[in-house]
Amino acid sequence: MAPPPLLLLQDITLTLGGKPLLDGVGFSVSPGERVCLVGRNGCGKSTLLRIAAGEILPDSGTRFLQPGSTLRYLPQEPDLSGYETALDYVIGGLTDPSQEWRASVMLDALGMSPMDNPATLSGGEARRCALARALAAEPDVLLLDEPTNHLDMPTIEWLEKELLSLRTAMVIISHDRRLLETLSRSVVWLDRGTTRRLDQGFERFETWREEVLEQEERDAHKLDRQIAREEDWMRYGVTARRKRNVRRVAELAALRTARKDAVRPQGTVNLTAQTASNSGKLVTVAEQACKSWGDRPIVRNLDLRLLRGDRMGVVGANGAGKTTLLRLLTGLDQPDSGTVTLGPSVAMVTLDQQRKTLNPQQTLADTLTGGGGEMVQVGDEKRHVIGYMKDFLFRPEQARTPVGQLSGGERGRLMLACALARKSNLLVLDEPTNDLDLETLDLLQEMLSSYDGTVLLVSHDRDFLDRVATSTLAAIGGGEWIEYAGGYSDMLAQRHGEALEQRTAAPQEPAVSSPGPAATNTARSGTRKLTYKDQLALDKLPGQIAETEAKILKLRAALEDPDLYTKDPKGFARHSDALDAAERDLTTAEELWLELETRREALQ
């Protein structure tokens, strides 16, 4: 029999400002289950996660946490007040004093010093401490709200492995597609105040979402036809000419109400960059450029040509100097030696990750208009601020809302609205994906892919880089930067090839005329060829994986029968146990196939 859920939310409702934000939503999390919670910015994901964490109470509904279970929650904006050091804060989240060593390990893995003063930490550093606190406790249930924000690539990859190694049940909100595809086994979609669940990983979600929306459109079309028939009867029916049938009139009113609620408009972000006249073919040229901070080299002997139409991604660990590099390439900073030359007619627009250009006391409308009336200058035309706000999914009543009261995703959309209103042929984007929902990321990707100008992009979102970048400039340490063709995955493949070449070119041991058995065995192990058994397993595993997936689908379909437990409790238990075993077999087979396939590719 399937184990009871550790965490259960049922019929949760919450109303903010007279409009229901959550309307009868719910989900459950079983031991070891990994669920991703997805939905548009402002739909209530973070609010629902706070209800799950017990931080806020809903208007109605049930929250149940198994007695004796431990739960930890990573908020977007953690509060570290009341602690003298980062280590004290992390230890404060432990339930077992003997596990204090894990606090130091987690802080070190996340690049934090145990003695850091929480009062002096930046927002990103505070989030890292909160992540260390949540992970060090090894809770039964882990709730993570945008865990990858402000993390660099190596740390994100470490976090993926760490979360995969835990037996903890998880609910994750994230804009990082690669993270969700790696971790999730179920998806809860929060949409227009209600939740739908998909018991498959995130890689299936977008196809499933389109199927759901298409079905909604078909249902709405049928409802339209039914309403049209009722209206026709109302106007022209024989009974209608003599006397209105009160019941039929009430039914028509109910149908109209149902049609209004059936497909409530979701709105679509309208991302269009205002392009200036073309720049020259050379946008920026660096020749032997060097830049240091004190004794630490940030950029050393950089030779680079950024051409019109290039979309270059910049990647590296936190502190590698990505922002300094951007300032050099855009002429905002001068190199210590060498030259950086901007091409003619460059019209640059910058979006910074800290969003320092936003005044938290200024209203949303004044931010867009510059405090000058009700019109926004968008390229060569003027538009009313309310209409331009709607392009970025802001409601008219938000026009007078202070920027400081907007959510992280709303501030991200506001930055995009300000940047895209100005003419440019060079977009410089420093972490533009932070806090944006998946639909807005899709539209931003499409806009950048069709943008006529040049793009310089700093991002830790691996999927976004793969979709947008035509080349990737990576920090390799000591101020050295190397450009690779393609996106992030292409860069990894090329780096792997470089490692193989270096290994091949390594100096060989002097040849021995008659090698003994030990030398022969060493040589053979160095080639790392697949054994016959490994090759046979590699050939058979895809078929075994397909068979196991089919078996899992069949068992899930059987368990979806609501009457199965009542009719056949023993059969229900057998199906549940078989499903658990099949899922374990699938995980084992996939991991073995990945290991063997990686070794095979390394030998080619």
* Angstrom distance (rounded) from CA 185 to CA 245: 53
> Tell me, what's the pLDDT at 345?
78
Best-predicted range by mean pLDDT (224-233, 291-300, 527-536): 291-300
User: Which residue bears the tokens 């946008």?
Assistant: 283
Residue 165 has pLDDT above 80, yes or no: yes
Secondary structure (DSSP) of 172-241: EE-S-HHHHHHH-SEEEEEETTEEEEESS-GGGHHHHHHHHHHHHHHHHHHHHHHHHHHHHHHHH-HHHH
Mean pLDDT score, 549-559: 84
At 602, the pLDDT band (50, 70, 90 cuts) reads low
Q: Minimum mean pLDDT among 218-222, 278-282, 346-350, 566-570: which range?
A: 278-282
* CATH architecture of the domain with range 517-603: Orthogonal Bundle (1.10)
At 512, the pLDDT band (50, 70, 90 cuts) reads very low
> What does DSSP say about strands 186-191 and 282-293: parallel, antiparallel, or unpaired?
unpaired
> Tell me, what's the pLDDT at 256?
56
> Where does residue 588 rank: exposed (0-12), middle (13-18), buried (19+ CB within 10 A)?
exposed
Sign of dihedral through CA atoms 486, 488, 494, 498? Answer: positive
pLDDT digits (tens, 9 = 90+) for 477-487: 888 999 999 88
Residue 377 has pLDDT above 90, yes or no: no
Q: Distance between the two ends of the chain, CA-based, in angstroms?
A: 46
> Tell me, what's the pLDDT at 132?
93
At 396, the pLDDT band (50, 70, 90 cuts) reads confident
User: Which residue bears the tokens 């919670």?
Assistant: 37
> Tell me, what's the pLDDT at 238?
46
* Angstrom distance (rounded) from CA 447 to CA 280: 22
* Angstrom distance (rounded) from CA 18 to CA 241: 41
Cβ neighbours for 171, distance < 8 A, ≥ 6 positions apart? 7, 27, 29, 35, 36, 37, 49, 52, 141, 142, 143, 144, 188
Residue 355 has pLDDT above 80, yes or no: no
Tell me the CA distances in angstroms from 407 to 47, 122, 535, one per residue in order: 11, 18, 52
Q: Minimum mean pLDDT among 65-74, 265-274, 300-309: which range?
A: 265-274
> Tell me, what's the pLDDT at 511?
38
Residue 280 has pLDDT above 70, yes or no: no
**What tokens does 580 get?**
């658990």
At 257, the pLDDT band (50, 70, 90 cuts) reads low
CATH 3.40.640.10 fits 274-491, yes or no: no
- Please say whether the beta carbons of 35 and 171 come within 8 A: yes
At 53, the pLDDT band (50, 70, 90 cuts) reads very high
408: number of Cβ within 10 Å: 19
Q: Minimum mean pLDDT among 21-25, 66-70, 80-84, 528-532: which range?
A: 528-532
Residue 269 has pLDDT above 70, yes or no: no
Nearest to 286 by CA among 302, 310, 299: 302
Query: What is the phi/psi pair of residue 563, to 5°?
Result: -100, 0
In the Cβ-directed half-sphere of 447, how many Cα atoms lie within 13 Å? 19
Domain ranges of the chain: 7-207, 221-262, 274-491, 517-603
- Please say whether the beta carbons of 431 and 460 come within 8 A: yes
Mean pLDDT score, 373-392: 83
- Please say whether the beta carbons of 86 and 115 come within 8 A: yes
Q: How many percent of the chain have pLDDT more than 70?
A: 81
- Please say whether the beta carbons of 148 and 460 come within 8 A: yes
At 448, the pLDDT band (50, 70, 90 cuts) reads confident
Q: What is the mean pLDDT of the chain?
A: 81
SS3 at position 515: coil
- Please say whether the beta carbons of 1 and 576 come within 8 A: yes
SS3 at position 416: helix
Mean pLDDT score, 204-230: 79
Higher pLDDT among residues 324 and 238, named by residue = 324
> Tell me, what's the pLDDT at 348?
87
SS3 at position 380: coil
Best-predicted range by mean pLDDT (130-134, 430-434, 497-501): 130-134
Higher pLDDT among residues 220 and 445, named by residue = 445
* Angstrom distance (rounded) from CA 325 to CA 291: 9
Same-fold call for 7-207 versus 274-491: yes
> What does DSSP say about strands 186-191 and 194-198: parallel, antiparallel, or unpaired?
antiparallel
pLDDT digits (tens, 9 = 90+) for 121-136: 877 788 889 999 999 9
pTM of the model: 0.67
> Tell me, what's the pLDDT at 301?
92
CATH fold, domain 7-207, is Rossmann fold (3.40.50)
